[in-house]
Amino acid sequence: MRISKAKILKYAAMGIIAACITTFFLKKEKFQGHPRDYAEIATEKIIRAATEYNSISFYVDGDTLSGFHYELIEAFARDHGWKAAITPEMSFDKRLEGLAEGKFDVIAYGILATSELKDSLLLTSPIVLNKEVLVQRKASSPTDSLFVKSQLDLAGKTLHVVKGSPSILRIHNLGNEIGDTIYINEIDKYGSEQLISLVAHGDIDYAVCDESIARAVVDSLPQIDINTDISFTQFYSWGVSKQSPVLLDSLNAWLQTFRNSSEFKLIYRKYYPPSGKK
C-alpha cells in the first residue's frame, strides 16, 4: 500500500489533532467507570475501542474511515449486532488507563505479549505477525557516525518511542544483550507515524515502531532507513481488561472463525500486502 507524501503530512496533522481532541475531552470529563464485560456491552449494543491513528490501524481518507484494526472491530461489532465507537489515542499508557477506567472495552491495536502486560491485560489470540524496527535517516556518507549499521551501534544512542510502548522492555533487553546502555525517550503526544516523520525531517535521530507502519510510509519518505530490526517477528494481539473474561472469549471465538474468511483475507492484504507489492 503506497502512501503519498501529502497523505503522510495529513496523517501527521490529523494524528496531532486527534491526540489534542482526546486530551481535551479527558480533561473536561474525568471518566469514572469500571471495565465492562460482554453482558454490559451487549445491553448497550456499543463496543468502545481505542486504537492509534496511523495509516495501518485507523485513519480518515476524505470522508471515509479506514484501517486494519478499524475494519476488524467494525466487523466484530456488525456480526454481534452492535456498533463500534472508536477513539484514536496516541499514548499506549492512556489506552491502558482508559481500559482500566472503563472508558474503553478493548484496545484494538497490535499489542506484543510481554510478561509485564500479561499482568494487567487479557490478550486475544494472535491477529497479525509483526516486529519492531529502528527508524533512522539513511547514511549521508560511508563514515556517517549517526547511522546505525547493526544493533551493536545502538550503544549510547537515544531511541524515541510512543509512551508506554511494549517495545521499551525489548530495548532494555537489547541493551543487556549488547552490554551497553540504550537510552529511551518516551513521547506521549505523538504516535508511531508522527515519530517517523520527525526522524525523516531531522527533528530526532532515531525512533522504534512496528515494521508494518514503517513500511507503509517508507516509499513516501525516501530519506529513512528501516532495515535494522529491534525485535524478532512475533504475534500481536488485542487487549481487554482482566475484568472482561467473557468479552475475551467472545473475541477469540469470533477471531477463530473470521480469520478463515475471505473477508479477513481481503482486509489483511489491503493493509499488509506481500513484500514488494505496495
Q: Are 71 and 64 in contact (CB under 8 A)?
A: no
Kindly tell me if the per-residue pLDDT of 112 is higher than 90: no
23: three-class secondary structure by DSSP: helix
- What amino acid occupies position 204? I
Average pLDDT over every residue of 74-85:
98
Cell numbers describing residue 191: 504516535
Domains and CATH numbers, the chain: 38-129+235-271 (3.40.190.10), 132-229 (3.40.190.10)
pTM: 0.81
Residue 16 has pLDDT above 50, yes or no: no
C-alpha cell at 146: 549517526
Report DSSP state, residue 263.
H
Query: pLDDT tens, 33-56?
Result: 899 999 999 999 999 999 999 989
- State the Cα–Cα distance between residues 236 and 109, nearest whole angstrom: 8
Query: What pLDDT, on the 0 to 100 scale, is given for residue 275?
Result: 59
Question: How high is the pLDDT of residue 116?
Answer: 73
Residues 6 or more apart whose Cβ sits within 8 Å of residue 170: 112, 132, 230, 231
User: CB–CB of 210/145 below 8 Å?
Assistant: no
